Copies of this chain bind each other. A is one copy, B any other.
C-alpha cells in the first residue's frame, strides 16, 4: 500500500466547494467557484432548487424505501427480512440521493437532511466489511467479490459513494460518509492499483472521476494514481465482448488514442469526465487532446438539438455520426447530465465558451425536459418526435428504463436518472461563473450574486431567457482593474449588444473564446447590460442528419421549441390541434411570441404559419415514382410551438421538434 495514503485526513489546500475542484492550478484556464460563492436570487433555476429540496429529494427517499434499496442494507445485519431487490447497481441510487442532499445543504441548513445523513451513515457503517468492502448485491451472496467486473458495477457504485462523501465533506465538513467511501477507495488501491492483484476495471466508468475528486479532497496521491491506472488499462479488451462488443464499455481503443465518442453514452461520458479530471491534475496533454477530439465528434454529429446524446436504444449508445433520429432517440437523461460534467471540465481546462454553450443548451432543453412541472416525475428516455400519443404511466408505478411512457414516470425500474437529476439540480449553482487571475467569467445567466476571492461581488439581474437583457451590477469592487467576461452564446453572435456603466451601446465583441470582456477599474454601482437577441429563429440541421432533412426547428435564445398535440384536446392551446404527420412550416413566416402562462410561469409560445394535410393521392401508398409523385398539398394553418422543456405536462401527446419546410 502506498505509504502516503494516510498522510492527510482533511481537505487538501485550495479546496473549493464545487463538484469539480482541481488541486493543481497549472492546467486551469478558469477556476471554479464554490457553490456558496454563487447565490441564485430568483428565477426558474432557483425555483427548481427549492422544489428539489421540498419535493424531489423527499420523493426519492420515499422510493428508496419503497423499492427496497434501503432494506437491501438492513437485511445484511438482520434488521429486515425483505428479500434483496433491484439491480446490481441500485446501491448507487441511495448514494446519488445522498450526494444531492450534500450539495443541497450548500443552500442552507435543513434538519431533515441531517437526520437522513445520520441514518445513512449508520446503515452503511453497519454494512461495510472490515476491509472497506461495501456492495449489497455481493454481500447478499448473489455474486462473488470482483467476480464480474464487466457487469457487476462494484467500482461504479463505490464511485458514487465516494462522490456523496465528498459533497458532504466539502459543503459541511462532515466527513462521516467520506470515511466510508474512503475505506472502500483504500481497498481499491490495494486490489486494483499498479501493485494490486487484480488487473481489471469496471465495465461502467465512474470510479475514475470519483477517485480524482477524492485525491483533490485528501491530497493523497494514491487515489489519483489509481484513477490514472484505470484509464491506462482500459481500451485493451480486458472486459470481453459482453452483449454489445468492447466498444460498448470503451474497451476497444485506449483512451489516449480515441478521437470519436462511441458506445454506451453514460459510460463514454463518465469516462471522459475522468480523463479530463486526470489531465487537470497531471497535465498530460494526450488526455486533453483525446477528450477534446471526442467532444468535437459528439457535437458535430452525435448531439441532438436539445443537447441530448445517445441515439440508440440498443446498448443505450451513441450511434454513428449523423445517426440522430428524433423518434427512436434514446437520449437518456443521465447521458445529458454526463455531457454537462464533461463540458464543465473542458471549460475549466480551456476557457472556451463553446463548452458553456453546450451546457446551456442541455440545461435549458434536454435536462429541463427530464422533470415534470411538480418536479416529482421524470423521463429516462427523451424523444424529440412522437407520432402517436402513448399512455401515461400510473402514478406510483415504475416503468422499465427503455419502456418510454407517454408522460414522465414517478420512478424507474432502473432508477439511475431521478437521483442524478437531484444531485445536478442541487449543484447547478456551480456552473454559473468562474474566475481567473484577471477577473470573473459569467457562463450561465440567472438572477444571482457572485462573490470571489478578490473580494468583489457582482449581481446579475435578468429574466433570461424570457428576455434577452442581462444586467450585471457591481456591488463590491476592491481597487484595481479586473475583467468581467460575459459569454456571448454562439446563436447570439452578430446580434448581441453591450452597454457599460451607462455609456454607449455597442455591438458585443466576443473574443476567440466567445466572451465579451470588459476590463476597467470598477466602482460599486457600475452596471453592464448585455442584450442578447432572443428573437425566435429557424434552425436547419447538418445535411448529414438524414432523419430530419428538409426540416427546421424553432429556437428562441437557448430554448428549443416543439409542436405538441395533446391527446386531451381541451388542454391544447390554439394552433396545437394540427396533423403532426403532414404539418409543414412556411419558411417566410413571421415568428410571433405569445405568452402561455397555462404552461407555467414565464413560458412563451411562438406562433408560426404553416400548412397541414397531404395530397389524398398518397392514401395507402408507401412510395411513388418520382415523376408521378403527388405534389405538395395542405391547408394554411397557424401553428403554436412551445418550449420543449414543458412538453408532456398535459397528459399523453404527439410531439415533434423538427418540422418539414413547406415549399
Contacts and interface: CB of A to CB of B under 8 A. Distances in A.
Contacts of A552: 626
Contacts of A541: 622-623
A629 B624 CA distance: 30
A614 interface: yes
A147 to B, nearest CB: 21
A534 B272 CA distance: 53
Nearest to A555: B625
Interface string A542-561: 11111111111100000000
Residue among A328, A386, A618 with max Cβ neighbours from chain B (10 Å):
A328
Interface residues of A, number: 65
Nearest to A243: B400
Nearest to A296: B620
B327 A319 contact: yes
A388 interface: yes
A614 B543 contact: yes
Interface in A593-625: 614, 618-625
A455 to B, nearest CB: 40
A267 interface: no
Interface string A527-547: 000000000011111111111
B626 A543 contact: no
Nearest to A587: B626
B549 A622 contact: no
A632 to B, nearest CB: 8
B625 A491 contact: yes
A632 B540 CA distance: 13
Interface in A285-329: 296, 299-301, 303, 305, 311-314, 319-323, 325-328
A8 interface: no
Residue among A305, A543, A582, A614 with max Cβ neighbours from chain B (10 Å):
A543
Residue among A314, A541, A632, A660 with max Cβ neighbours from chain B (10 Å):
A314
Given A546-B548, A620-B299, A625 B582 contact: no
B328 A312 contact: yes
A539 B543 CA distance: 20
A323 B656 CA distance: 13
B403 A243 contact: yes
B403 A549 contact: no
Given A305-B623, A325-B325, A400-B243, A618 B299 contact: no
Given A403-B243, A403-B245, A549-B550, A387 B542 contact: no
A581 interface: yes
A542 B621 contact: yes
A77 interface: no
B539 A387 contact: no
A499 interface: no
A301 B582 CA distance: 13
Report how many copies the assembly holds: 2
A516 B624 CA distance: 22
A244 interface: yes
A543 B619 CA distance: 11
A385 interface: yes
- Please classify the interface of chain A as helix (H, G, I), strand (E, B), loop, or mixed, using the class held by over half of its residues: loop
A402 interface: yes
B624 A539 contact: yes
A526 B577 CA distance: 62
A539 B660 contact: no
Interface string A566-610: 000000000000000110000100000000000000000000000
Given A618-B542, A622-B301, A323 B314 contact: no
Contacts of A537: 625-627
A587 B629 CA distance: 13
Contacts of A327: 319-320, 323, 325, 546-547
A312 B629 CA distance: 27
A468 to B, nearest CB: 16
A625 B535 CA distance: 12
Contacts of A587: 626
Contacts of A388: 320-321
A626 B539 contact: yes
A403 B243 CA distance: 8
A137 to B, nearest CB: 22
A537 B625 CA distance: 7
A289 B491 CA distance: 54
A321 B579 CA distance: 13
Nearest to A330: B314
Contacts of A620: 296, 299-300
A547 B549 CA distance: 8
Interface string A225-265: 00000000000000000011100000000000000000000
A320 B386 CA distance: 9
Contacts of A387: 320-323
Contacts of A538: 625-627
A521 to B, nearest CB: 38
Contacts of A658: 546
A405 to B, nearest CB: 10
A539 B619 contact: no
Contacts of A301: 622
Given A300-B619, A305-B623, A544 B614 contact: yes
Contacts of A305: 622-623
25 contacts: A243-B403, A245-B403, A312-B328, A313-B313, A313-B314, A319-B327, A319-B328, A321-B581, A323-B387, A325-B327, A325-B328, A326-B546, A327-B547, A537-B625, A539-B623, A539-B624, A539-B625, A540-B625, A542-B618, A542-B623, A546-B547, A546-B551, A546-B658, A550-B550, A553-B623
Given A325-B327, A539-B625, 19 more contacts: A243-B400, A243-B403, A300-B619, A300-B621, A300-B622, A301-B622, A311-B328, A312-B313, A312-B328, A314-B314, A320-B327, A326-B546, A539-B624, A544-B582, A544-B618, A549-B549, A549-B550, A550-B550, A553-B623
Interface of A: 243-245, 296, 299-301, 303, 305, 311-314, 319-323, 325-328, 385-388, 400, 402-403, 491, 537-553, 581-582, 587, 614, 618-627, 629, 632, 658, 660
